[in-house]
Structure 1
Amino acid sequence: MDPSTYKRYHIHGHDSRQFLEHYFSDKPDMAFGEDALKFPIKNLTKAFASGHIKGDILLDFSHGSVIHHLYSACEFFKDIIVLKIKDRCILELKRWTDKRTGAFHWGHVAKLHEDIEGKSHQVEDKEAKMRSAMQHVVKCDLEKENMTEPIVLPPADCIISAWQLDAICKDQDDYIRYLRKFSRLLKPGGHFILIGCLGVTYVTVGEDKLHGLSYDEDFARKALEGEGFIIDECKVQKRTSVSDLTDYKAVIFIVAHKEKEL
């Protein structure tokens, strides 16, 4: 397929449930458990356990309806505000927070977090803490100056963006432009956690192939540093999955903090 025909997530959307089933479920044939679940969760658990990343407000601007990366954060922030581009993703998350019939099952992720943290038999408690922290799911428009208009968000202590920049950016200039927008929502000294895929050009969801922005570790580092961030940690894991659903080469995890104004 010609890459120019790939769909764009923020324009065309995708089936949010199929996306979760393909890349984040506990199904036996789900090939991305190590790269999409274990790698980010291990690094997030370590990052938050350091005690440096905490506060009142965490903003999450991540792809689709994923929330597994937030389980580590719910212990360290009073409020988690989730920003979503598509109504379908908002409905998917509301179904889970309200414990509605047919909600996506995240129990395997809660258990994985507890196993990594060494707190067995507390899965239900972990789920309850997540639901309590994640009370706000807000629609956003990427092209507005205030993406959440008419809502004005308070400055965040931390922002997490997982796989979103990979999906919405058509080129590297776009990446820097959106990164700059996210940065404006962060307090000076606040932390930015970036999770993404290196070398990706497409992601398959159902019968649709969606565009992915291909970049490398050097670009991601320079993009953050160019926007006034100091990188605290950068981890890259080469791809372990065997699947033709997507063509990424590696997964990247970066923790950075925004320089304080003088």
Structure 2
Amino acid sequence: MDSSTHKIYHIHGFDSRQHLEHYFSDNPDMVFEDDFLKFPIENLTKAFKPGHIRGDVLIDLSISSMIHHLYAPSEFFKHIIILKVRDRCILELKRWLNTRTGAFEWGHATKIHVDLEGKSIELQDKEAKVREAAQHVAKCDLDKENIMDPVVLPPADCIISAWLLDVISKDKDEYIRYLRKISQLLKPGGHLILVGVLYMTFYTVGKDKLHALKYDEDFARKALIGEGFIIDICVSKKATGISPLVDHKAVLFISAHKEK
């Protein structure tokens, strides 16, 4: 199967529960703990710990139904607005937010964050903090001028986008176009945090092989600078999770702020 026949996340969708099981679970055969759990949790914790990234509104625009990237910001933001491009991802996410039977179990990821903080806090308390902040979950359309049309979102103090640009962008021009659209949701001086995967061309969910944009760290840096961002943190790590499910070579974390 060549890349032109791969499915595209926001157009074709995937089984969001299966995606979580493949890449974020505590299953014995899940080999991506270092890349997709520990790496973003560690770097998000470091980015938020100094306390200068804070405010009223954080917007999360990320792939699938993840919540582990929201542990750190839930300490610094009153309102987390979660936007998804697929209904199925919203349903899976709400199952966890509303503590419904059968929700995906995130306790292993919560423990990683709590251990990093070095605080004697119950895992349930940390998860409750995320649930309290993340009260707004809605569907968006990134191809509309106003992605929440007809609703107008409040300007965000911070936006987190984990792996979304990687899987919705067919080429580098689209990556920059979507990056520009996302950045327009920020207040002047607001912060943008990107979590990405480098040199990846596909990922697999169940029987479906899906498209990913192949790019390197230099491209991501230049894209952000070109859109008026000042990069505060840029960290990459060689991939350790080797699996036929995905062909990534490294993972990337960038924290930047928008020039006023």
TM-score in same-fold range (> 0.5): yes
Residue aligning to 2:258: 258
Residue aligning to 1:226: 226
Query: Could you list the per-position Cα deviations for residues 16-54 of structure 1 after superposition, in whole angstroms to 9, with x for gaps in the alignment?
Result: 000000000111110100000001111100110011100
For normalisation by structure 1, the TM-score amounts to: 0.98
Per the TM alignment, residue 70 of structure 1 is displaced from its structure 2 partner at its CA by 0.5
Which amino acid letter does the alignment assign opposite residue 250 of structure 1?
Answer: A
Aligned counterparts of 2:12 and 2:155: Cα–Cα separation in 1: 30
Residue 247 and residue 185 in structure 1: after superposition, are their counterparts in 2 closer, same or farther (change >3 A)?
Answer: same
Residue 99 and residue 234 in structure 1: after superposition, are their counterparts in 2 closer, same or farther (change >3 A)?
Answer: same
Q: Secondary structure at the match of 1:41?
A: helix
Q: Secondary structure at the match of 1:243?
A: coil
Task: Count how many residue pairs are aligned between Structure 1 and Structure 2.
Answer: 260
Per the TM alignment, residue 149 of structure 1 is displaced from its structure 2 partner at its CA by 1.2
Q: Secondary structure at the match of 2:59?
A: strand
Query: Could you list the per-position Cα deviations for residues 170-216 of structure 1 after superposition, in whole angstroms to 9, with x for gaps in the alignment?
Result: 00000000000001000010000000000000000000000000000
| 1:249 is the counterpart of 2:230 | no
Q: Secondary structure at the match of 1:253?
A: strand
Query: Could you list the per-position Cα deviations for residues 131-183 of structure 1 after superposition, in whole angstroms to 9, with x for gaps in the alignment?
Result: 00000001001111110112110000000000000000000000000000001
Per the TM alignment, residue 258 of structure 1 is displaced from its structure 2 partner at its CA by 0.1
Residue aligning to 1:102: 102
Query: Could you list the per-position Cα deviations for residues 104-147 of structure 1 after superposition, in whole angstroms to 9, with x for gaps in the alignment?
Result: 11111111110011124420100111100000001001111110
Residue aligning to 2:150: 150
Residue aligning to 1:17: 17
Query: Could you list the per-position Cα deviations for residues 224-259 of structure 1 after superposition, in whole angstroms to 9, with x for gaps in the alignment?
Result: 000000000100000111211000110000000000
Query: Could you list the per-position Cα deviations for residues 47-70 of structure 1 after superposition, in whole angstroms to 9, with x for gaps in the alignment?
Result: 100111000000000001111101
Which amino acid letter does the alignment assign opposite residue 137 of structure 1?
Answer: V
Which amino acid letter does the alignment assign opposite residue 122 of structure 1?
Answer: E
Residue aligning to 1:30: 30
Which amino acid letter does the alignment assign opposite residue 48 of structure 1?
Answer: F
Question: What do you get for the CA RMSD once the two structures are aligned?
Answer: 0.7
Aligned counterparts of 1:99 and 1:258: Cα–Cα separation in 2: 36
Indicate the percent of aligned positions where both proteins have the same amino acid.
70
Which amino acid letter does the alignment assign opposite residue 15 of structure 1?
Answer: D
Residue aligning to 1:240: 240
For normalisation by structure 2, the TM-score amounts to: 0.99
Residue aligning to 1:174: 174
Map 1:103-118 → 2, pairs under 5 A:
103-118=103-118
Aligned counterparts of 2:216 and 2:120: Cα–Cα separation in 1: 37
| 1:82 is the counterpart of 2:77 | no
Which amino acid letter does the alignment assign opposite residue 199 of structure 2?
Answer: G
Residue aligning to 1:39: 39
Q: Secondary structure at the match of 1:190?
A: strand
Superposition misfits of 4+ residues, deviation over 4 angstroms: none
Aligned counterparts of 2:27 and 2:84: Cα–Cα separation in 1: 25
Residue aligning to 1:196: 196
In structure 1, runs of 5+ residues without a counterpart are none
Map 1:118-129 → 2, pairs under 5 A:
118-129=118-129
| 1:135 is the counterpart of 2:129 | no
Per the TM alignment, residue 14 of structure 1 is displaced from its structure 2 partner at its CA by 0.3
Aligned counterparts of 1:120 and 1:113: Cα–Cα separation in 2: 12
Aligned counterparts of 2:122 and 2:48: Cα–Cα separation in 1: 19
| 1:213 is the counterpart of 2:216 | no
